[in-house]
Every structure is written in structure tokens, then in C-alpha cells.
Amino acid sequence: MTQQEFLQDLETFLEEWQNNEPTVWVHTSGSTGIPKPLQVEKGRMMASARLTCQFLGLKEGDTALLCMPLQYIAGKMVVVRSLIAGLKLIPVAPCGHPLKELKEAPTFAAMIPMQVYNSLQVPQEKHILRQIKHLIIGGGAIDTTLANELKDFPNPVWSTYGMTETLSHIALRRLNGQEASEWYTPFDSVRIRLSDEGTLMIHAPNVCSEELTTNDIAEINEEGKFRILGRKDNTINSGGVKIQIEQVETLLREHLSIPVQITAAPDAKFGEIVVILYNKVEDEKEIKAVCEEKLPPYWQPKRYIPVEELPLTGTGKPDRATARRMARGE
């Protein structure tokens, strides 16, 4: 996307925001394969924006970097926060290096892990990144390597937790400083609990009219904070692109006569990468050739791992937890 096209998208959204309709359209990130359109209330978006601005202490005149696509909630919410708090918006067309042309750091920036990772690799961009007063990172998993590179940043760096239905994030956790933690702190108006299946349930009346049941298996501590242990569904989030494991395996079964399993491993750049497990007696070159020919680019495995046998549960189903451990080399 060019800068001119992005500015046109911004103008279109501002026109939609200022019309008389009570809602705007957003797209989900497509955890089941195809992004779905969703109508959200402007009033609830404003409430969500106030929560973030109050939590971070953003004030009128502060600058805010907009470097996320405007069809998704994350990009739209950067704009709404700017409107609500009187922030000066710095629009940069979504790309892997959004800090490349900046001469000075914005007060506030919301970025995905891949953008942060890329910026850390370029000295000038890293210098700008370190100067951002309030950096929030969302849209994908933050692996240990990336987190470690952020630990000595002088200003607060946050990992966000949320989804389209909660109008961006409803909880944050610090990645650096003495307050660094693997536990997310929900905003004051947000209540959480666990479902019978151990998945996180969210009651955030200011931003969503109904209690939400997520697919994230979680743990809640005595302080009311939570951490994510894994996914109930089998979704890989690679660089912000969500990949359904079963969809990849189904497509491969049409072209491979041997069983394989798709899983994920942590990655510093993309958060997670696609990994394929196969029996070590099979020909890796044949498997790789099929993957490269038949799978869309984002679905293609970044790592091929031969194993003694594919992990199965007692009922013969793929043992997803064991597969992930094998992909991590455990």
C-alpha cells in the first residue's frame, strides 16, 4: 500500500466516523480463515479509547503513530484515541519498517511484533523505537527473544490482550522495567473469569454488551490478573496472519499420501512460525515440494522436523500440545 492510498483510507474512515450512523464496519483478523465484517458502535469505541488513554496518561498534543491497516480494529482505534484525546496523528502506510522515515519518536505507537522486530535490526530505527514514550505491541505473540531485547528500554513497553469484539485491547502487561510480568492486568471496568473448559471469559460492559468466551486457555491469579497458556482452537498467529492448522492439514492430505502434522514454534520476528512434523523415514524433499507448490505463501512451513512418530492422543487424534513441545525442541 502506498502512502497516498493509506491517506485516502484514513480520509474515508474519518468521513464514516463523522456521519450520523451510530456504527462503523470493521473486519476481524480471520482466525478461522476468512476475515468477517462486523458492525461496532462508535460510542463503545470511544469508551475503549478513553480506557487506553487514561491508563497510559496520554494528553492533548501528544503524537500518535498510525501504522496499521484501517480495515481492522487496531488501526481504527489509533485514530479514535487521537480524536478523543486530541493527539496529533502521524500516519505511515502499514509496512515492515514504519519508523524508517521518522526523524523523531512519537509519544505513542501501536505496532505488531514483526514491525518491532524489524525496527530493532536497523540502528536508526532502533534509536527511534527506544524513544517512544508509550509503545504497545499487539496482534501476535511476543516470543522470549523479542521480549528480552525490549527489557532495557527506558520507557514503558506493553503487550496488549484483546480482539475485534472487545474493540482492541482490554488488558496490558509490561514487558520492561521492574513491573515486567507475564500476567495481564485488565482495565478497571473489565471483569474476567474462566469457563468450564478453562478458557478466558471477558465481561467489559463499556465496550461489549455481552460476556465474551474466548478460545484462549488461561490462568487467573489471586490479584485478578491473567496469563494465557495456549489456544483451545488450533490457530497459528504468524506476523499477524492467523492460520488454521486443520485447514493446512486438510489441503496437504489432498496431495500427500503420508501423514504429517502442522504445528507452531515461537519466532522472534513473526511471533510464531508454521512447523511441519513428519515421520523420519519419509522424504523431506517430497514434502517440501508439495508444500511450496500447493500451500499459500503464509501457510508454508518455515521448519521441517523429522520425528520417530507423530504424536497422537489415546483416541488416535493429533496431540496438539505434544506437537508444539516437539516443535520447540522440548
The bridge status of strand 108-111 relative to strand 134-137 is parallel
Identical fold for domains 3-231 and 235-327, yes or no, is: no
CB 128 within 8 A of CB 118: no
pLDDT tens for each residue of the chain, 330 residues long: 899 999 999 999 999 999 999 999 998 765 434 567 889 999 999 999 999 999 999 999 999 999 999 998 999 999 999 999 999 999 999 999 999 999 999 999 999 988 999 999 999 999 999 999 999 999 877 877 899 999 999 999 999 999 888 988 999 999 999 999 999 999 999 999 999 888 899 999 988 889 999 988 889 999 999 998 777 778 898 998 888 888 899 899 889 989 999 999 999 999 999 999 999 999 999 999 999 999 999 999 999 999 999 998 766 778 888 899 999 998
Q: What is the pLDDT of residue 31?
A: 43
Give the model's pLDDT for residue 320. 85
Cell of 56: 497510559
DSSP string, 245-269: HHHHHHHHHTT-SS-EEEEEEEETT
- The reply to whether CATH 3.30.300.30 applies to domain 235-327 is yes
Ranges of each domain in the chain: 3-231, 235-327
Residue type for 11, please? E
pTM score of the predicted model? 0.77
- What number of H helices and E strands is found in the chain? 9, 18
CATH number 3.30.70.270 is the correct assignment for the domain at 3-231: no
